[in-house]
């Protein structure tokens, strides 16, 4: 079962902290970024590539894996770890965000979410109990409660309705999880839209349930960045200090630095892999578009400070050629670099916090980002 230990609390008026999450599939050093492998793979890279990038934990999605290849297949293959040959920790989302994204295909009730498959139109139902049951079959180390995510803008009435359903489902999912005695660890998800008093209410209700960890959902759904930071800064202190705090679906490198400073322990986002496939590469000196003509004769690696496989072996000129030629190798090499950059950024922050120099790290991070 999950165990969380805080290793170091930052000084200098920062809430940043390092810690260690213990799971059946290994230990996770926090703060941590989780690459997103929606369908059981992080797009264009292998588990060996993820190992090279020093990924500690990856994320899969319950909604998508339930529809394809299905619980029967994954269960028959002894769970998601064995199916994809990943021997480190995994987290699975409950599908709540997908129901938000595919709102036209979903209907929310007290019982759960009735929805049509985006693949073939078939009809299905996720109750909070069913969401937990499916994740138990997947065998993830950390699974998420079914929640109702609202977009931006959302009225107070809409946000309250979603909050009430999220709390109801959290209690039912938790009771089912306890009844089944599952080895997976179930996290609760705080909702409340962009309304501070609703975030407070949601956090109070959910922390009354003894979840092993807590997440903040419903951020990065179209709101201005400063509002996202405001909601995170308000909500993080409302969550128990002795349990992991996870902000879902965030974000840019700057977001990670800011939110680690507010005390967040866990992150996930498709940005490093999705942007890599679109030719946008993250570096210690800002982002670059590899399709830009100025890189046509450039012998330098993507980032001279980076030690990833891509930067150690290939030039910007070659990566530009691959991308412009639509060679499949471009997606793999770009994704390796972006994932390595994100995961190395987290490692640098952990080191800085442990050495009581997070404030200096943050200053240097922004200074270098402005150089490109």
Residue 140 reports pLDDT greater than 90 = yes
Closest to 30 (Cα-Cα) out of 54, 4, 53, 60: 4
Same domain, 69 and 143: yes
User: Is the overall model pTM greater than 0.85, yes or no?
Assistant: yes
Q: Residue for token digits 């490109």? A: 372
Same domain, 53 and 175: yes
Q: Residue for token digits 């402005």? A: 370
CA distance 185 to 109: 25
Mean pLDDT of 23-28: 97
CA distance 229 to 358: 18
Same domain, 91 and 237: yes
Residue bearing the bigger pLDDT, 273 or 100 = 273
Same domain, 153 and 300: no
CA distance 283 to 337: 9
Q: Which of 234, 269, 304 is the last residue of a domain?
A: 269
Q: Which residues contact 18 (CB under 8 A, 6 or more apart)?
A: 6, 7, 8, 29, 30, 31, 350, 353, 354
Q: Which of 247, 269, 291 is the last residue of a domain?
A: 269
Same domain, 215 and 293: no
Q: Which of 245, 269, 293 is the last residue of a domain?
A: 269
DSSP 36: B
CA distance 9 to 349: 12
What pLDDT score was predicted for residue 100? 87
CA distance 141 to 185: 6
pLDDT digits (tens, 9 = 90+) for 213-258: 999 999 999 999 999 999 999 999 999 999 999 999 999 999 999 9
Residue 11 reports pLDDT greater than 90 = no
The total domain count for the chain is 2
What pLDDT score was predicted for residue 372? 60
Q: 189: which strand partners?
A: 215
Structure token pair of residue 370: 């402005």
Same domain, 261 and 282: no
Same domain, 126 and 241: yes
Residue 268 designated active-site: yes
Same domain, 237 and 322: no
Structure token pair of residue 144: 């998420």
User: How crowded is residue 178: how many other Cβ atoms within 10 Å of its Cβ?
Assistant: 11
Q: Which residues contact 40 (CB under 8 A, 6 or more apart)?
A: 60, 65, 69, 80, 83, 84
With the C-alpha atoms ordered 177, 181, 183, 185, is the resulting torsion angle positive or negative? positive
User: How crowded is residue 218: how many other Cβ atoms within 10 Å of its Cβ?
Assistant: 34
What pLDDT score was predicted for residue 284? 97
To the nearest whole number, what is the mean pLDDT of the chain?
97
Same domain, 263 and 284: no
CATH number of the domain enclosing 153:
3.20.20.105
Same domain, 252 and 123: yes
Domain of residue 248: give its range: 3-269
Residue 141 designated active-site: no
Percent of the chain with pLDDT over 90: 95
pLDDT digits (tens, 9 = 90+) for 65-110: 999 999 999 999 999 999 999 999 999 999 888 988 887 889 999 9
Same domain, 155 and 91: yes
Which position among 93, 141, 255, 344 bears the catalytic label? 93
Closest to 310 (Cα-Cα) out of 41, 44, 34: 44
For 59, 283, 362, the CA distances from 341, given in Å and listed in that order, are 18, 7, 16
Same domain, 10 and 159: yes
Which position among 255, 265, 268, 344 bears the catalytic label? 268
Mean pLDDT of 310-334: 98
Mean pLDDT of 144-150: 96
Residue 317 reports pLDDT greater than 90 = yes
């Amino acid at each position: 079962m999950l165990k969380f230990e805080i290793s170091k609390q930052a000084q200098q008026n920062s809430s940043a902290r390092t810690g260690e999450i213990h799971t059946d599939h290994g230990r996770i050093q926090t703060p941590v970024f989780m690459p997103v492998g929606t369908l059981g793979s992080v797009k264009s890279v292998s588990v060996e590539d993820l190992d090279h990038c020093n990924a500690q934990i990856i994320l899969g999605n319950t909604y998508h894996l339930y529809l394809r290849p299905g619980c029967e297949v994954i269960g028959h293959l002894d769970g998601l770890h064995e199916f994809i040959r990943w021997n480190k920790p995994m987290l699975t989302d409950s599908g709540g965000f997908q129901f938000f994204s595919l709102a036209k295909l979903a209907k929310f009730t007290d019982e759960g979410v009735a929805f049509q498959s985006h693949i073939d139109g078939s009809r299905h139902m996720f109750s909070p109990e069913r969401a937990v049951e499916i994740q138990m079959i997947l065998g993830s180390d950390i699974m998420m409660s079914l929640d109702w995510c609202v977009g931006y803008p959302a009225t107070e009435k809409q946000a309250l309705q979603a909050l009430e359903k999220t709390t109801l489902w959290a209690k039912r999912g938790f009771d089912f999880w306890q009844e089944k005695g599952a080895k997976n660890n179930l996290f609760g998800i705080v909702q409340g839209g962009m309304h501070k008093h609703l975030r407070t209410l949601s956090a109070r209700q959910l922390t009354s349930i003894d979840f092993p960890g807590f997440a903040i959902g419903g951020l990065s759904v179209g709101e201005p960045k400063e509002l996202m930071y405001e909601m995170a800064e308000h909500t993080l202190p409302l969550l128990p200090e002795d349990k992991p705090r996870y902000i879902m679906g965030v974000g840019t490198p700057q977001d990670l630095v800011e939110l680690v400073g507010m005390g967040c322990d866990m992150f996930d986002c498709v940005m490093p892999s999705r942007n890599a496939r679109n030719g946008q590469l993250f570096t210690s000196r800002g982002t670059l578009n590899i399709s830009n003509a100025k890189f046509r004769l450039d012998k330098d690696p993507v980032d001279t400070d980076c030690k990833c496989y891509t930067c150690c072996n290939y030039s910007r000129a070659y990566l530009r050629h691959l991308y412009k030629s639509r060679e499949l190798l471009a997606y793999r090499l770009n994704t390796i670099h972006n994932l390595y950059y994100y995961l190395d950024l987290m490692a640098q922050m952990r080191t800085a916090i442990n050495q009581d120099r997070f404030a200096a790290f943050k200053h240097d991070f922004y200074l270098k980002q402005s150089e490109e």
